[in-house]
Structure 1
Amino acid sequence: MTSKVNISCGSCGYEDISKNAKKWCTICEEGFCGECEKYHKSMKITRDHKMISIEDYRQIENISVNLYCEIHGKKLDLYCKKHEIAACVVCIPSEHKSCSSSDVISIDDASKNAKQSSSLLDLEGTISTTIDNVKFCIKDREMALKIVNEDEQTIRKTITDTRKNLNKYLDELERKMLLDLKSKHENCKSKFVKILNQLKQMEKEVEKLKEQTLQMKRFASDLQVFLGTRQLNQALCKKIGSLKEDIRDSTNYNMEIEVNHVISSLVNEVKQFGKIKVMETMANLQLKDAKIDQAQIQVHGLSHNIHNISLQLKQKFDIKGSESPLSDCIVLPDDRIIIADFIGSGKIMECNNDGQHIRDIPVSDKPYSLTLVGTDCIAVTYPSSKYLEIINTKNTSERKRVNCSSLCWGIYYQDQKLYVIVLQQGIVVMDLNGKTLNIIDIDVLYVYHITTTSDRIYYTNYNSNTVHCCSMTGQEIWVFKDQSIFSLGGISVDHNQNVFVVDETSNSLIVIQHDGKDSKVLLTDRDGLASPCAVSYNKQKKIICLGYKKGVVALYQVS
């Protein structure tokens, strides 16, 4: 609930003048009356500050975003890209001695476009998924309660029908049996009611988080959104943990009665009308995975251990008509697989997840690299023709061509932008209309594959056999090289920013730790790999799609 107390003008209050504020500055975090607002806007240093109405401020007034260091009490005005954590001026010399000057940037730079970040989208998606999970659990528990109530009614009828055939002597036995039934039914019912109350309370809390996130997205500053996203992620993670804890031991109860079969003939010997039994079975509630970006909630950086990563083969199939290694392949949200065959047939093929060919998507030249754009669209590069296309996979006549200045190779879509490797230019960043937004000046002479996260770019260099990680401005964060790697091909990144690459010569799939300091070979030729070129990691399904020799596609579940 928003506060009804008037917000005072901070500037007037400094002069011991009491005056109600008309606007709120999200940067200064202070209210301003009409006159002070004009003065605030007239100053060059505060001219660009975002001002919102007091009514809008009340929508985010109760959203708790900690802007100060919990250890030192200083304002969080810096951000370490290496550890992915906000810091104050005291944190840097004490906790980040090994971090280079390029690793530490201002919090203002780090929080730019926070409202369009994948982290905020992930938070909104996680909230939505969690609400769905809570609703699902409530519905399941309500159904279980309905069943046990029906069981109770069935038993009650059985007791009543049986009693009609008995004489007056059985009245006392009936009374005892009904008391026993009532006791056990109430016990079962109370357990269902308890978990239902907990789930409904959690639903309200997650709905509140959803509302806070929406209001924060609409009215808060980028800084507040940036930090609030992480803090709300933490709160949501705790609630998800609490939800899993609440339902982990959830039990279904079914009641039935065993009526003594000799009760009619052995009236004098029967001491008990029957027996109420409660059978317990595990509820086995299957929750939808909530996509939480763990990189955003780690206190000391990313924590996933690459040596715990394992792969399980789900499916392997051949693409008919292709005798060469496939150049790229991606898995769509509806499990369709799109495959680019640059070296062989020169086609884009669409298959289902069992490998059955659905169709060939019409192309105007040999396609090289693919990336998913939204839900149903893909972007594909045609190096020889020096252009790329955005194609609707549901209606392939809907397509948009974007010309490039030279050969265009790898492509990746992130946060409404396309990142394209263009020879003699570098990494060209463009919007979906083809407008160039930025050119990242790096040597791309032997660079054919690229992928990105919300704040990093990754690519492989075929000549030097190195894997590069750089910032969105092209500043190098780390470079990975190993003597056992001979000819690097495709590259992809998981939700922990661990990097998957394929080596065409050593016939291997390798995962590189998010900081570039460690690696692990996941698959080799002993697993059937031969000249692997394409690798794609689906973050929602945690599936790796590999394309290699003679048109072979393999899907692996990552755990």
Structure 2
Amino acid sequence: MFSTCNHHYNKRLSHFCQKHDEVICAKCIPESHEGCQNVQLIEKAADTAKFGYALSSLESRIQNLKLVVTDMLKANADNFSTLNDQKQTIKKKIKQIRNGINAYLEKLENELGNDLMEKYKVCVKEIDKERQHYLQQKETLDDWTREIKAMKNHASSVHLFSMAKLLHPRQKANEDSVQKRLADSKISNIDFEQSRILLDFKRLVMSYGKISIRESPALMSSTHRKAFAIPLLSRNDKPPSPVISKFETSVFGNNVDVIRGCFLPDDRLFIPDNKSKTIYVCKMNGANIKKIKLRHNPKDACVLDRSHALVTCGDSGIMMVDLRTLSPGTMIIPGGHCTAISCTGDKIFVVNDECKVSVVDLKGKVLKRITTRYDPYMITSNKTGVIFWTNYNNNNVNSILPNGTSQNVYSGSDLRESTGIATDNRGNVYVAGCDSSNIIRVSRTDKSSTTMYAKRDGISSPLGIALSTDKSKLMVINNKQIRVYRTHSN
């Protein structure tokens, strides 16, 4: 449905023209886009399509328009019910009048009843016409919703990108149609004006009264207005700022030393202070600060489960912190000087010696010691138990597979002095470049890199980074400032 060109039969969509904001086939380039400067392969343009703003905006607009159509169908049904009530009320009034007069008016009664039914049929016909239109709109929107949902789980980024670009104008046409119909929509009513009954009714009363259709405008609710308030993202538009919140680390005190931290399951931040034997817990904007006092200086932290976090404390080992009471708990003693830490399930990965990463269980038993080529500065792990690590003195991103094999994941000129590191649910790796002042994302599939945030986004000599539990937010500890960015990831 969304993979072939609209202009050339059965030609596969292969390129994207940024100037015209259009997905095109190879045959379109010499015919219509020869002078366009920014024509690129669709694979490159579609790198972040599955989780980008354009697709999420389209989905929001479809859902909002479905709400409007559903509301209009309900209003349509209510109008039908009201007409029925009005019809019955008027018929009752007519019957009451008829009971007070003689057979002379029986003919007039029948004529008036027929007139009522004709007017009623006119109203019902118009209502049914509106109903069929909205049912057709709803069916189309339901089809698109199901197709997008299925494609998000199984389709490639190229297919999704093409679908989004082709579906935008169709969605806009649907919105315009519904919006115009909503603006012109009228509610049909049947009124009855009773004639005065005079003594000489045979001469003066020629009918019971008059039946007419009265239309009043259908009011557009705030929900309806909101549905049309989401703009179509054109090539000149900019997505919303990626920054969700930011605050200075001085909110914790003037002499804090904040390098690393993590998200808690409820999206609060869990921030160790290397100088004051304190963990700070706060909202993403730095508000509602809580303190956890420790007996040792904290180095790094990670979340074990919804109720517990792990904090490395140098030579003292690893402390388990109860997140329900925000209080320190038992110590895990794997030996060595514990610094960087991550965990997957009940396995703890900790840097506790120079060029060493230990795999430890929750009782402190060392299950495996892995030697690395360089001394790991920060580490993270994915759900399959692969460990990723950085070294401050080079530009590499490295990994350790569950069998102990080491690999170089990434090395490029866009990453200088690699520091903080995190992984999302799709296996992509986020890395902070302290000297390059950027955050890059390394693709799981082809190991290519994408600069997610840079100096223009407020990145300045970043150190620690962490992804939220749902992977939709990225915390960056950034030159005495903590920033939270949206990632469009899940």
Alpha-carbon distance, 1:382 to partner: 1.2
Name 1:336's counterpart in structure 2: 268
Q: In the aligned structure 2, how far is the partner of 1:324 from the partner of 1:521?
A: 30
Aligned partner letter, 1:360: K
Alpha-carbon distance, 1:502 to partner: 1.4
- Unpaired runs of 5+ residues, structure 2, are 1-65, 95-107, 156-163, 196-205, 228-237
Alpha-carbon distance, 1:268 to partner: 12
Task: Report if aligned partners of 1:489, 1:534 keep a CA contact under 8 Å in 2.
Answer: yes
* Closer, same or farther: CA 469–446 of 1 in aligned 2, 3 Å: closer
Task: Report if aligned partners of 2:377, 2:419 keep a CA contact under 8 Å in 1.
Answer: no
Alpha-carbon distance, 1:500 to partner: 1.5
Aligned partner letter, 1:509: I
* Closer, same or farther: CA 283–525 of 1 in aligned 2, 3 Å: closer
- For the pair 1:435 / 2:377, whether they are aligned, the reply is no
Name 2:313's counterpart in structure 1: 382
> Counterparts in 2 of 1:180-259, with a 5 A limit?
180-182=122-124, 257-259=187-189
Alpha-carbon distance, 1:403 to partner: 0.7
Name 1:365's counterpart in structure 2: 296
Q: In the aligned structure 1, how far is the partner of 2:258 from the partner of 2:76?
A: 56
- For the pair 1:155 / 2:83, whether they are aligned, the reply is yes
Name 2:213's counterpart in structure 1: 273
Alpha-carbon distance, 1:379 to partner: 1.4
- How big is each residue's C-alpha offset from its partner over 1:28-78, in whole Å with a ceiling of 9 and x where there is no partner? xxxxxxxxxxxxxxxxxxxxxxxxxxxxxxxxxxxxxxxxxxxxxxxxxxx
Aligned partner letter, 1:336: R
- For the pair 1:470 / 2:400, whether they are aligned, the reply is yes
SS at the partner of 2:118?
A: helix
Name 1:327's counterpart in structure 2: 259
Name 2:35's counterpart in structure 1: none
Task: Report if aligned partners of 1:389, 1:399 keep a CA contact under 8 Å in 2.
Answer: yes
Alpha-carbon distance, 1:499 to partner: 1.8
Task: Report if aligned partners of 1:425, 1:439 keep a CA contact under 8 Å in 2.
Answer: no
Q: In the aligned structure 2, how far is the partner of 1:345 from the partner of 1:267?
A: 95
* Closer, same or farther: CA 536–446 of 1 in aligned 2, 3 Å: closer
Q: In the aligned structure 2, how far is the partner of 1:426 from the partner of 1:340?
A: 23
Alpha-carbon distance, 1:437 to partner: 3.3
CA RMSD of aligned residues (A): 5.1
Aligned partner letter, 1:273: I
> Counterparts in 2 of 1:46-65, with a 5 A limit?
none
* Closer, same or farther: CA 194–520 of 1 in aligned 2, 3 Å: closer
Largest Rg, 1 or 2: 2
* Closer, same or farther: CA 283–431 of 1 in aligned 2, 3 Å: farther
SS at the partner of 2:296?
A: coil
Identity across matched positions, percent:
19
Aligned partner letter, 1:406: G
Compute the TM-score of the two structures, normalised by the length of structure 1: 0.53
Alpha-carbon distance, 1:535 to partner: 0.7
Q: In the aligned structure 1, how far is the partner of 2:189 from the partner of 2:432?
A: 68
Alpha-carbon distance, 1:351 to partner: 0.9
Compute the TM-score of the two structures, normalised by the length of structure 2: 0.59
- Count residues in correspondence: 366
- Unpaired runs of 5+ residues, structure 1, are 1-137, 207-232, 236-243, 287-307
Aligned partner letter, 2:483: A
* Closer, same or farther: CA 454–311 of 1 in aligned 2, 3 Å: farther
Q: In the aligned structure 1, how far is the partner of 2:351 from the partner of 2:239?
A: 30
